[in-house]
Chains A and B, each alone.
Chain A
């Protein structure tokens, strides 16, 4: 297949996806639509965490913290001044009067998460392995505590409710397509290979002049951007945001998706996120009828353990389908 044909095929795939979104929007009930929304957001989260954890081997549990930051920033920018006056009377004037539309607010949420990633990355990225995991977990807890205590900005433990239900499947799909594009374009580039080299052997990479610290910060920032945008989508899907929305359990769920799919494989993360979140949703009625809440989490934890024992590199390792490599690598044979 020539590259032009491949490109055409890629465009057709994206368009076909859009067609399915249109069909779903027209014919699916709210319940099924919301499931599709959650599945799409899970895919964005897993793919973006894969850029951080999978490409540079930076084991971060901080993804929900970036979601929280993005979610609150988006909500604060979108919320009509009237409601802000009621919820948050002490806001500075410029923020109190802000009433942004959804797209720029989502982008601002993503950028706020990037800013946080740069701030937290500089000190934390010196750490390795378990220490890094613990430090990013600490970051998640700090963000949660800050949200609880900055009442004037966040309304503390009450959170913000009654947000406009702006997130629909179109938004989720668009963000997912952009996330996938960025992840693949990065992976099949010199910069992406430099990131993978840092993951594989940091010292050897540095001896080749690859700036390991910069590669890690960049991977953390790219992951954080999409986590921040997901936070905004999430908040305006369930129309509420509280400090507890973005928990360690959520970090675990996303990490499990990345590990099971294959850390380093964008395709693996995508498929694992879709599979696992569909499975979790399917189990919900079972959980309710059996009154066995948390069943899905237990099954997922078991799945993670089985995967780590039988296939420690995940389902896909660091691999991608060959067609994608040919699509993205300008100069591939």
Chain B
């Protein structure tokens, strides 16, 4: 085992180019277990691209991503998940025709599911794993306050519930690090506060590490212990929320004079 304070995630000089667009350049990040870090920046700064790189959805042009001691850059989403990285999507991607419960149960498959033969012959191992999956899924729904909607099709949920279901589903896969891409988008202030408490509780209860992309600065300031600012794909600055908020360069970037000096 690694020592307790060794970073879970270490990202070094990570870059991604799409044709002529340099979406991310020399991005660096080190995350200790249990940290809650914010990643902010104006539209098109490259935040979602960073998430796509970290979760293995995209292969970087160059750079390295080590999670739990394993190099995962460019190895695909399965490798990201196996290394303990879970994520949500900016434009929600649930399994809409499946029930809320089944969305979460599907996410338990990698850790708890069985193969074809135990399933078809209904071996005792398969029964036990189905029971474990159900228990875990119900627990996740409880945590995200979705138990009442368990039997509904995920696609029929109100927007705020869909966002929370995505988090419940990501949690069910048992990640060490959770990447949340604008989880408060479209939520009202009450729901946003509920979300903040839920994320805190997850960290306290499971020691979850969280990287949060969010445009709601209030949420970022109240939730994160450290904030990175990305502008035009480059890291502009990094530090405690209050310091970042006071930084004139950050203000300028958000006002649209856009990181020309970065």
Contacts and interface: CB of A to CB of B under 8 A. Distances in A.
Contact of B119 (A186, A205, A207): A186
Contacts, number: 116
Given A197-B98, A207-B86, A329-B130, A191 B115 contact: yes
A210 B120 contact: no
B113 A185 contact: no
A194 B113 contact: yes
A203 to B, nearest CB: 7
A191 B105 CA distance: 10
A101 interface: no
A190 B119 contact: yes
A297 B120 CA distance: 36
Nearest to B83: A209
Interface in B46-68: 55-57
B141 interface: no
A159 interface: no
A318 B97 contact: yes
Contacts of B111: 209
A208 B81 contact: yes
Contacts of A264: 97
B17 interface: no
A206 interface: yes
Interface string A217-234: 010001000000000000
A331 interface: yes
Interface residues of A, number: 32
Contact of A204 (B94, B97, B133): B94
Contacts of A204: 89, 93-95
B196 interface: no
A193 B105 contact: yes
A317 B97 contact: yes
B105 A200 contact: no
Contact of B81 (A185, A186, A209, A218): A209
B134 A208 contact: no
A186 B120 contact: yes
Nearest to A193: B106
B67 to A, nearest CB: 13
Chain B interface size, as a band, is 35 or more
Contacts of A85: none
Contact of B77 (A182, A190, A191, A206): A206
Contact of B170 (A196, A208, A210, A313): A208
B163 to A, nearest CB: 14
Interface string A173-200: 0000000001001100111111011001
A305 B121 CA distance: 39
B112 interface: yes
A116 B116 CA distance: 19
A185 B95 contact: no
A211 interface: yes
A201 interface: yes
Contacts of A203: 57, 77, 93
B102 interface: yes
Contacts of A4: none
Contact of A207 (B87, B98, B105): B87
A330 interface: yes
Given A204-B94, A207-B81, A208-B169, A193 B127 contact: no
Contacts of A200: 94-98
A117 to B, nearest CB: 13
Q: Which of B77, B86, B173 has the most CB of A within 10 A?
A: B77
B122 A190 contact: no
B93 A190 contact: no
B119 A331 contact: no
Interface in B162-216: 169-170, 172-173
B110 A208 contact: yes
Contact of B131 (A197, A222, A331): A331
A313 B97 CA distance: 10
25 contacts: A185-B119, A186-B116, A190-B105, A190-B114, A191-B109, A191-B114, A191-B119, A194-B106, A194-B113, A196-B98, A196-B102, A197-B103, A197-B107, A200-B94, A201-B94, A204-B94, A204-B95, A205-B106, A207-B55, A207-B77, A207-B80, A209-B81, A210-B110, A218-B116, A318-B97
Interface of B: 55-57, 76-78, 80-82, 86-87, 89, 93-98, 102-103, 105-116, 119-120, 122, 126-127, 129-131, 133-134, 169-170, 172-173
